[in-house]
Amino acid sequence: MSYQTEAMTSQPQMTVTSYTVSHWSSDVCDCCDDCGICLCGAFIPCILGCKVAQDNGDSCCLPFLPGAMIALRTSIRDRYRINGSVCDDWVIMTCCSFCGLCQMAREQKARS
């Protein structure tokens, strides 16, 4: 039996992918920054919810599913690499859902 030994000539390389984390372009209570979105969110939020969902690549029916607006907010936050957590999304969409919906719409408008 003969054993051959080979000298290692290179080390394995590790690739690190980095990305920047951003913030929402407007605060959740900045509803009056865009009067059109604000009025739509106040008087016909189901239409605004459908538009936000469609602009995110989701079904127009998404806003009518229980808990789906929290998932939509999380999806938008992940897409734009916005700092936050699912818990933050839950609090916003549970306590002030209309303001959260308007914030998502303003964010999509600002990034398009």
Q: What is the pLDDT of residues 19-41, one digit of tens each?
A: 677 899 999 999 889 999 999 99
Residue 26 lies in a domain: no
Domain that holds residue 53: 31-111
68-79 vs 86-95: helix crossing angle, rounded to 10? 130
Q: Determine, yes or no, domain membership for 23.
A: no
Instruction: Classify residue 91: in a domain, yes or no.
Output: yes
φ and ψ at residue 82, rounded to 5 degrees: -90, 135
Residue 19 lies in a domain: no
Number of domains in the chain: 1
Any domain includes 56? yes
Has residue 59 been placed in a domain?
yes
Whether 95 is in a domain gets the answer yes
Task: Tell me the mean pLDDT in the region 9-16.
Answer: 67
| Total Cβ atoms within 10 A of residue 85 | 10
* pTM of this structure: 0.80
Q: Are 75 and 59 in contact (CB under 8 A)?
A: no
